Amino acid sequence: MNGADSGIVEILAAVALLGLGALFKFGFDRWGAHLGWSREERAGQDRKIERVDHEARESIARVEREMKNELNEQGRKLDRLEERVDHLPTADDVQELARRLADVDRGLSGAVSKLDGMSVNVKTILDHILAGERR
């Protein structure tokens, strides 16, 4: 693009911005009159726009309420989950429990071996008593 073309583009852009500014300054109501709309047609269009705007605002409000309720529900679920997690044992607690269970297992193994020895003694005594009664 040469210098003259660039200048034309700048002028067109300025005119377009000026037209857009005028449109906002004088409002869409006057713009509608330039399109040949009657006052009743413009009022009808305004009512349609207001109805659509009202429906959109109601829809947005409903979605916002639903999202707020859902977020609140998720927050309550998260609170319950955090409460449960706070009461779970830590890794150190589980290791300590495993150590204690191993101690109990060793103690029970010793007790079982002693009971086995006592069982043999009790059986021997019982056999001796029963043999003495048979005589």
pLDDT digits (tens, 9 = 90+) for 64-122: 999 999 999 999 999 999 999 999 999 999 999 999 999 999 888 888 888 888 888 88
Whether residue 11 has pLDDT greater than 80? no
Q: Is the pTM of this model over 0.85?
A: no
* Mean pLDDT estimate for the chain: 80
Is the C-alpha dihedral spanning 76, 81, 87, 91 positive or negative?
negative
pLDDT of residue 17: 64
By C-alpha distance, which of 50, 34, 51, 33 is closest to 42? 33
pLDDT of residue 95: 96
Q: CA of 81: how far to CAs of 71, 84, 87, in Å?
A: 15, 5, 10
